[in-house]
A and B are shown apart, each in its own frame.
Chain A
Amino acid sequence: MANSGIELETNGGSKHWDSDSQPNASIPISTVALPPASNFHCAFQKIAHSVKIVIFTAKINVLLPFGPASIILHYLTNHHGVVFLCSLLGIIPLAERLGYATEQMAAYTGPTVGGLLNATFGNATEMIIAIYALKNGMIRVVQQSLLGSILSNMLLVLGCSFFAGGIVHYDKKEQVFNKGTAVVNSGLLLMAVMGLSFPAVLHFTHSEVRYGKSEVALSRFSSCIMLVAYGSYLFFQLSGRESSQYSRIDSQEGSDSDIQRQSQSQNSAEPEDEEEEPEIGLWESVAWLALLTLWVSILSEYLVNAIQGASESFNLPVAFISVILLPIVGNAAEHASAVMFAMKDKLDITLGVAIGSSTQISMFVIPFCVVVGWMMKKNMDLNFQLFETATLFITVLVVAFMVQDGTANYLKGLMLVLCYLIVAASFFVHVDPSSSDD
């Protein structure tokens, strides 16, 4: 046991933050089945070891104490602003570890179920935050945070990646990526966004049959259709297609087992980074998945409860908090991994992460929230208000055009980041035409 402990320590550094570490062939010792747990010492050591890998080896976990701190602050003081910020900071590492646990589990379950896992849990944080906001009746917050997540993925994440990649590979002048995949993915995203926009367009041309009720009915119908589309999208992607461009989309959260294998077969100089050797056992991953989800849910509740108060104490519009600040939390892990892959000149994975995540949100999370709202009897609909709808459509269109030529450089990245700054500034001075929050 001590042996494996030492070996694993030299192997430190999580996949996301220090991927250049060499794997150690004797890793699987940790997953060897131990004799039944009559031996508490063994069980305790296994748990401690698991905790060490999941919690202590990742550098991001330095932010972990903010979680409990925010809960304490919630009960001790009435300072909503600080509670909000602390829970925001506290969720970030949890979201990242959630991605890690998903990835670990995917290593055991094979690419199909792994892809499904990534597809479902990839945006688990956004989903959890959105469902809590729905329960509180904060429908505008839900709409804006999901929309902001798409915007953040397409502008900020992509922009930072292109910029970072461009700077690191300055000598190459331009990085290339697979044009075909990018065009297909952005086409799908464009169609999904189009499907989402109709209730808003209907509302804003003041042309619905029953004012106020028709959009909700139409939104629910559209959401069911979008969920069917998402189901067939998953089926289509995971059913082992011949054309290689689809198999690359499997990595949506940085789980790049297939990608790595593919790129390895082409590029033998690349050391086998993370995949093929999961660091924790299958049941450990499941347990961590459950635990982290629970933890994220708890913190999300405090987060959502503190939004209104934070908005007042910091003097920030709720729109700004929902569209800009909340998605940063959900996207932090994807952001980091996308930037990292861009710096390693693997732009296909970056694009898969960014555009794939946006597509997932528009085709799955948003319609799912409408359906959940339907079941909770809240009037959640797809009527995103004119400004947000226009922003979303313009952004997706522009980015879809921009990835068409298959190259990236730091200027494109910089332009995307600056556009995001402008969008953020617009939301800073934006309130809904009627009342602020539902």
Chain B
Amino acid sequence: MMASTEEEKTGLQEEAITINGSPMAVRKMQTFEHIGSLAAVAQSYGPRSVKSRILKSIYIVLIKAKINVLLPFGPLAVILHYLTGKHGWVFFFSLIGITPMAERLGYATEQLACYTGSTVGGLLNATFGNATEMIISIYALKNGMIRVVQQSLLGSILSNMLLVLGCAFFAGGLTHPHKDQDFNKASAVVNSGLLLMAVMGLLFPAVLHFTHSEVHYGKSEVTLSRFSSCVMLLAYASYLFFQLKSHRSLYNPIDSEVDGEQDAKEDNEEEEEPEITQWEAIVWLAVLTIWISILSGYLVDAIQGASESVNMPIAFISVILLPIVGNAAEHASAIMFAMKDKLDITLGVAIGSSTQISMFVIPFCVVIGWMMGKQMDLNFQLFETATLFITVLVVAFMLQEGTANYFKGLMLILCYLIVAASFFVHVDPTSDDN
């Protein structure tokens, strides 16, 4: 009982201090909480303490964040799916319902990363960072909607490079109106170079197909795609090793965990004081992943119907609407960091996420499709391939200068509008899906 009341007190105090944000006290609280939580786990099995801990945990994770106001849309979508046949509504509600869960998933990952140290933390971020896209893609693969998978992943890269970056530059530029914001040119150039290479590696099956020059028409691209995917996964593993172990110094300015020299200033940000315990974080990770999977199932099932009822091409839904869901959390945090004049983090988030998708998620989906026996390949259709390549090239070129202002952000956003408009009037040359 003593331990539990102590832990409750600490918990309440910790909440109070998190609001104020004084570094030294928070560090002490953190130590207390560690001891307190371990003690609580070890000693108290009384129903009251477990319930109160669960309730507190639910409060922190589910209620405190403002985005959770969107949570009810999830269950609503499920209800609508069974009650009505209105796919349009089901689609949109599940879309809105997944958004807060994707954000909370990012939060839980981040919390877990505080406990595990920066290396494993980086790995966690790298794997779970695009968990939502991965889950949606795997469901779509199961349904055989291969074009949806390709288009949603491609749209995610486009959205990261144009919309997220553009909004961040624009917001940051408006907040700091009379000067250009600087970022670390070297890491931006290195990252965009890697992204360009990854995109190049992804494009060869498409180029092969569209120059009508493959040996076995229809089969060669799939084989080539599978081989390329394995190579890309290898590349991704070495990228992780490079980033997290051997060349860490190169990435310090763009680490999403801002440690190092800025400790004194930055302690009242999320990093150094986790708000939930390690096991809670793991449990939440699992719970949210399951929740997202359930909703994704309904989401994917409703795509076809939504496309017909709202009269939008499936391409538009896959390329523009689906990635908004997966990227919502990154979007918000990128903008926030830009407004705080920490463009390095913004760039790390945007370009890092794009690189992750092109080097990990897409090849991973190809491999999963291979295992499921589906013909998922890297043959993205000419329009999407051209769009992707042009976009990555132009943005990589634009980042070379090392400064940002609201006009560049505006140009990027306008380019995204043009791309979105192109997909609005775009259908596949042959049949729509698969």
Please list the residues of chain A having a beta carbon within 8 angstroms of any beta carbon in chain B.
Answer: 180, 183-184, 186-188, 190-191, 194-195, 197-199, 201-202, 204-210, 214-215, 217-218, 221-222, 225-226, 228-229, 232-233, 236, 241-243, 393, 397, 400, 404
Asked if B401 and A183 make an inter-chain contact with CB atoms under 8 angstroms apart, the answer reads yes
Asked if B394 and A207 make an inter-chain contact with CB atoms under 8 angstroms apart, the answer reads no
Q: Collect the chain A residues with CB atoms within 8 Å of residue B425's CB.
A: 202, 208-210, 214-215, 217-218
Cβ of B25 under 8 Å from chain A: no
Least CB distance, A236 to chain B, in whole angstroms: 4
Cβ of B175 under 8 Å from chain A: no
Smallest CB gap from A200: residue in B: B386
Per-residue A-contact encoding for B379-402, CB less than 8 Å = 1, 0 else: 001110011001101100110110
Asked if B421 and A222 make an inter-chain contact with CB atoms under 8 angstroms apart, the answer reads yes
- Give Cα distance in the complex from A123 to B372, angstroms: 59
Asked if B401 and A180 make an inter-chain contact with CB atoms under 8 angstroms apart, the answer reads yes
Q: Collect the chain A residues with CB atoms within 8 Å of residue B426's CB.
A: 202, 207-209, 214
Q: Collect the chain A residues with CB atoms within 8 Å of residue B418's CB.
A: 195, 198, 221-222, 225
Query: Which residues in window 418-434 of B have CB below 8 A to A?
Result: 418-419, 421-422, 424-429
Asked if B427 and A207 make an inter-chain contact with CB atoms under 8 angstroms apart, the answer reads yes
Asked if A202 and B383 make an inter-chain contact with CB atoms under 8 angstroms apart, the answer reads yes
- Give Cα distance in the complex from A233 to B410, angstroms: 10
Q: Collect the chain B residues with CB atoms within 8 Å of residue A221's CB.
A: 418, 421
Can you give 29 A-B contacts (C-beta < 8 A)? A180-B401, A183-B400, A183-B401, A186-B397, A187-B400, A188-B411, A190-B397, A190-B398, A194-B391, A198-B421, A201-B383, A201-B390, A201-B422, A202-B422, A202-B425, A202-B426, A205-B429, A206-B429, A207-B381, A207-B426, A209-B427, A218-B421, A225-B414, A226-B414, A233-B407, A236-B405, A236-B406, A241-B178, A404-B400
> Which of these, B313, B386, B394, B427, contacts A201 with CB under 8 Å?
B386
> Which of these, B179, B381, B405, B414, contacts A229 with CB under 8 Å?
B414
Smallest CB gap from A404: residue in B: B400
Q: Collect the chain B residues with CB atoms within 8 Å of residue A210's CB.
A: 425
Give me 7 other A-B pairs in contact (C-beta within 8 A), A201-B386, A404-B400 excluded: A188-B411, A190-B397, A191-B415, A205-B429, A214-B425, A221-B418, A236-B405
Smallest CB gap from A225: residue in B: B414
Asked if B387 and A201 make an inter-chain contact with CB atoms under 8 angstroms apart, the answer reads yes
Given contacts A187-B397, A205-B382, contact A232 B422 (CB under 8 A): no
- Give Cα distance in the complex from A197 to B389, angstroms: 13
Main secondary structure of the interface of A (DSSP, over half): helix
Q: Collect the chain B residues with CB atoms within 8 Å of residue A195's CB.
A: 414-415, 418
Please list the residues of chain B having a beta carbon within 8 angstroms of any beta carbon in chain A.
Answer: 178-180, 313, 381-383, 386-387, 390-391, 393-394, 397-398, 400-401, 403, 405-408, 410-412, 414-415, 417-419, 421-422, 424-429
Least CB distance, A119 to chain B, in whole angstroms: 15
4 interchain residue pairs of minimum CB distance: A214-B425, A205-B383, A205-B382, A236-B407
> Which of these, A187, A194, A208, contacts B390 with CB under 8 Å?
A194
Q: Collect the chain B residues with CB atoms within 8 Å of residue A194's CB.
A: 390-391, 394, 415
Least CB distance, A122 to chain B, in whole angstroms: 20
- Give Cα distance in the complex from A202 to B426, angstroms: 7
Q: Collect the chain B residues with CB atoms within 8 Å of residue A201's CB.
A: 383, 386-387, 390, 422
- Give Cα distance in the complex from A242 to B180, angstroms: 9
- Give Cα distance in the complex from A228 to B386, angstroms: 25
Q: Collect the chain B residues with CB atoms within 8 Å of residue A209's CB.
A: 313, 425-427
Q: Collect the chain B residues with CB atoms within 8 Å of residue A233's CB.
A: 407
- Give Cα distance in the complex from A241 to B407, angstroms: 12
Q: Collect the chain B residues with CB atoms within 8 Å of residue A190's CB.
A: 394, 397-398
- Give Cα distance in the complex from A226 to B393, angstroms: 20
Q: Collect the chain A residues with CB atoms within 8 Å of residue B401's CB.
A: 180, 183-184, 187
> Which of these, A198, A204, A217, contacts B419 with CB under 8 Å?
A198
Smallest CB gap from B179: residue in A: A242
Asked if B382 and A232 make an inter-chain contact with CB atoms under 8 angstroms apart, the answer reads no
Asked if B429 and A397 make an inter-chain contact with CB atoms under 8 angstroms apart, the answer reads no
Given contacts A195-B414, A208-B425, contact A242 B383 (CB under 8 A): no
Given contacts A222-B421, A242-B178, contact A207 B411 (CB under 8 A): no
Given contacts A194-B415, A198-B422, A232-B407, contact A205 B397 (CB under 8 A): no
Given contacts A187-B401, A201-B386, A208-B427, contact A232 B421 (CB under 8 A): no
- Give Cα distance in the complex from A214 to B403, angstroms: 37
Least CB distance, B429 to chain A, in whole angstroms: 5
Asked if A243 and B180 make an inter-chain contact with CB atoms under 8 angstroms apart, the answer reads yes
Q: Collect the chain A residues with CB atoms within 8 Å of residue B382's CB.
A: 204-205, 207
Given contacts A241-B178, A243-B179, contact A229 B410 (CB under 8 A): yes
Smallest CB gap from B410: residue in A: A232
Given contacts A191-B398, A218-B422, A400-B397, contact A207 B414 (CB under 8 A): no
Least CB distance, A418 to chain B, in whole angstroms: 24
- Give Cα distance in the complex from A393 to B426, angstroms: 22
Least CB distance, A385 to chain B, in whole angstroms: 15
Asked if A191 and B394 make an inter-chain contact with CB atoms under 8 angstroms apart, the answer reads yes
Asked if B178 and A207 make an inter-chain contact with CB atoms under 8 angstroms apart, the answer reads no
Q: Collect the chain B residues with CB atoms within 8 Å of residue A197's CB.
A: 390
Asked if A205 and B386 make an inter-chain contact with CB atoms under 8 angstroms apart, the answer reads yes
- Give Cα distance in the complex from A236 to B382, angstroms: 36
Q: Collect the chain A residues with CB atoms within 8 Å of residue B313's CB.
A: 209
Q: Collect the chain B residues with CB atoms within 8 Å of residue A214's CB.
A: 425-426
Q: Which of A201, A210, A242 has the most CB of B within 10 A?
A: A201
Q: Collect the chain A residues with CB atoms within 8 Å of residue B412's CB.
A: 191
Q: Collect the chain A residues with CB atoms within 8 Å of residue B427's CB.
A: 207-209
Least CB distance, B61 to chain A, in whole angstroms: 40
Asked if B390 and A229 make an inter-chain contact with CB atoms under 8 angstroms apart, the answer reads no
Least CB distance, B310 to chain A, in whole angstroms: 15
Least CB distance, A169 to chain B, in whole angstroms: 27
